[in-house]
């Protein structure tokens, strides 16, 4: 059965600030527990291997350049050769700058024409201005339709109010006529029908 204390014990055992008393307790536990002892042997072997790797010298990565120079002997690289190495990078940087500035180079009729920005933008600007003009016209038409609708709505409300007042007046006249009829019938003395 695996020991539940293995991880804790081993973590403490490899700690740099472990007291001698605690180290003795851990070693006593490891002698009694087969799981912890096996795991400690594995980790001790790995630690030994890591120390061996720490003692190995680092490889010399620049050795190939020294070998290349030694093989070439007295022939040294000339400064003009170094300049040729930078020409492709400079050409790429120049092309990137021209592209970012949206530079247009046109050769027409024996003349070289260089412009920054796209000549097609004027057509886009004209179309955008036309679109804005059409939008403004549509807004004005919509405002006119909305004003006409509001005017018709107000007329309908006024007609309804007038109809309601007329109906209320007629109802009042009907109630008044009935009251007069009741008072007339009551004053004449008609008692039953």
pLDDT tens per residue, range 165-188: 888 888 888 888 888 888 887 777
Give residue for tokens 């092309």.
95
Instruction: Specify the number of domains making up the chain.
Output: 1
The first and second tokens of residue 150, run together, are: 């509001």
Q: Is residue 19 part of a domain?
A: yes
Query: How sure is the predictor about 74, in pLDDT bands with cuts at 50, 70 and 90?
Result: very low
Domain that holds residue 22: 6-55
pLDDT digits (tens, 9 = 90+) for 92-141: 998 888 888 877 777 778 888 777 776 556 767 788 889 999 999 999 99
- The answer as to whether 105 is a domain residue is no
User: Cα(first)–Cα(last) distance of the chain, in Å?
Assistant: 115
17-32 tens-digit pLDDT: 778 888 888 788 888 8
Within a domain: 95: no
pLDDT given at position 59: 66
| Confidence label for 1 from pLDDT (cuts 50, 70 and 90) | very low
CA 120 to chain centroid, in Å, comes to 31
3-state class (DSSP) for residue 115: strand
Task: Tell me whether residue 34 is in a domain.
Answer: yes
Residue 66: pLDDT band with limits 50, 70, 90: confident
The reply to whether 110 falls in a domain is no
Of residues 74 and 134, the one with the higher pLDDT is: 134
Task: Say if 164 falls within a structural domain.
Answer: no
pLDDT at site 79 = 59
pLDDT of 38 over the 70 cut = yes
Task: Decide if pLDDT at 7 tops 70.
Answer: yes
Burial (Cβ within 10 Å: 0-12, 13-18, ≥19) of residue 115: exposed
**Residue 12 domain flag:** yes
DSSP codes, 128-178: HHHHHHHHHHHHHHHHHHHHHHHHHHHHHHHHHHHHHHHHHHHHHHHHHHH
User: What confidence score (pLDDT) does residue 50 get?
Assistant: 80
Domain assignment present for 76: no
Mean pLDDT of 39-44: 84
């Amino acid at each position: 059965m695996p020991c539940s204390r293995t991880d804790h014990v081993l973590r403490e055992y490899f700690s740099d600030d472990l007291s001698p008393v605690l180290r003795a307790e851990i070693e006593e536990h490891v002698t009694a527990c087969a799981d912890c002892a096996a795991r400690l042997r594995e980790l001790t072997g790995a630690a030994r291997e890591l120390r061996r790797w720490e003692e190995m010298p680092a490889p010399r990565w620049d050795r190939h350049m020294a070998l290349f120079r030694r093989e070439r002997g007295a022939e040294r690289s000339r400064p003009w050769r170094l300049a040729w190495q930078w020409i492709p990078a400079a050409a790429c940087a120049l092309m990137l700058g021209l592209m970012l500035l949206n530079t247009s180079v046109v050769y027409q009729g024996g003349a070289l024409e260089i412009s920054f920005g796209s000549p097609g933008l004027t057509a886009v600007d004209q179309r955008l201005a036309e679109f804005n003009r059409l939008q403004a016209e549509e807004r004005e038409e919509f405002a006119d339709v909305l004003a006409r609708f509001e005017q018709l709505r107000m007329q309908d409300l006024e007609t309804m109010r007038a109809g309601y007042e007329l109906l209320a007046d007629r109802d009042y006249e009907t109630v008044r006529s009935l009251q007069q009829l009741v008072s007339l019938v009551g004053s004449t003395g008609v008692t039953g029908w």
